[in-house]
């Protein structure tokens, strides 16, 4: 069940291989182990993808792809999971990360009022930046670990259920 669902949401291998930003990895991206879907590669891909989804940087896909290549986990799944943070979900996710940072480090004394200007970004780096970045790191680490263990459990449960059904 878990494998079938993951295969359904994964993008086409050729689309990812032809992606312009991922060409920087050269022939390494053609390693068949990066495209194979098993329990180890799926749980690692969930951890990588969810970790980099919380990084407030451009080109999260490239970082996730590099980590997937280094850790030898499923590349397409790692990249797809980074898309959790998109223009619609970024504000609530990053606000939540800021609140997590504030919960751990304490209040900053500054209000988190987003403005899409360069001046706001530069000013925020000195006022709320450390709290926000720590919150992103903490949230990414938590959800990476949660995704890793949840997929591992779901995969094992799915295999156990299929074996049980097959024996009946």
What pLDDT sits at residue 30? 72
Higher-confidence residue of 112 and 133: namely 133
What pLDDT sits at residue 2? 60
Angle between helices 129-167 and 39-53 (to 10 degrees): 160
- Phi/psi at 55 (nearest 5 deg)? -80, 125
Residue 66 has pLDDT above 80, yes or no: yes
Residue 44 has pLDDT above 90, yes or no: yes
In which band, very low, low, confident or very high, does the pLDDT at 136 lie, cut at 50, 70 and 90?
Answer: very high
Question: What is the rounded average pLDDT for all residues in the chain?
Answer: 83
User: Would you kindly state where each structural domain of the chain is located, as residue ranges?
Assistant: 2-15+32-167
In which band, very low, low, confident or very high, does the pLDDT at 12 lie, cut at 50, 70 and 90?
Answer: low
Distance CA 11, CA 38 (A): 16
Residue 12 DSSP one-character state = P
Higher-confidence residue of 3 and 37: namely 37
Q: Are 42 and 9 in contact (CB under 8 A)?
A: no
Whole-Å CA distances, 98 to 51, 120, 128, 131, 163: 16, 16, 8, 6, 44
Residue 59 has pLDDT above 90, yes or no: no
Tell me the average pLDDT across 89-96: 88
What pLDDT sits at residue 5? 67
Of 88, 1, 3, the closest CA to residue 39 belongs to: 3
Distance CA 78, CA 51 (A): 10
In which band, very low, low, confident or very high, does the pLDDT at 47 lie, cut at 50, 70 and 90?
Answer: very high
Distance CA 69, CA 162 (A): 31
Q: Where would I find the H helices in the chain?
A: 2-9, 13-17, 39-53, 60-71, 75-82, 90-105, 118-127, 129-167
Q: Are 132 and 124 in contact (CB under 8 A)?
A: yes
pTM exceeding 0.85: no
Q: Among 21-30, 67-76, 115-124, which range has the highest average pLDDT? A: 67-76
């Amino acid at each position: 069940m878990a494998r079938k669902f993951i295969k359904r949401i994964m993008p086409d291998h050729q689309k990812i291989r032809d992606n312009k930003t991922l060409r920087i990895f050269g022939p390494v991206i053609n390693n068949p182990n990066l495209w194979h879907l098993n329990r180890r590669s799926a749980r690692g891909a969930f951890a990588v993808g969810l970790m980099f989804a919380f990084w407030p940087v451009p080109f999260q896909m490239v970082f996730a792809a590099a980590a997937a290549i280094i850790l030898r986990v499923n590349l397409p799944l790692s990249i797809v999971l980074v898309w959790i943070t998109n223009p619609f979900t970024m504000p609530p996710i990053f606000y939540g990360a800021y609140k997590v940072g504030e919960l751990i480090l304490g209040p900053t004394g500054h209000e988190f009022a987003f403005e899409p200007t360069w001046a706001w970004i530069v000013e925020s780096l000195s006022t709320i930046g450390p709290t926000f970045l720590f919150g992103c790191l903490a949230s990414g680490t938590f959800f990476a670990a949660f995704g890793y263990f949840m997929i591992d459990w779901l995969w094992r449960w799915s295999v156990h259920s299929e074996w049980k059904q097959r024996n009946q």
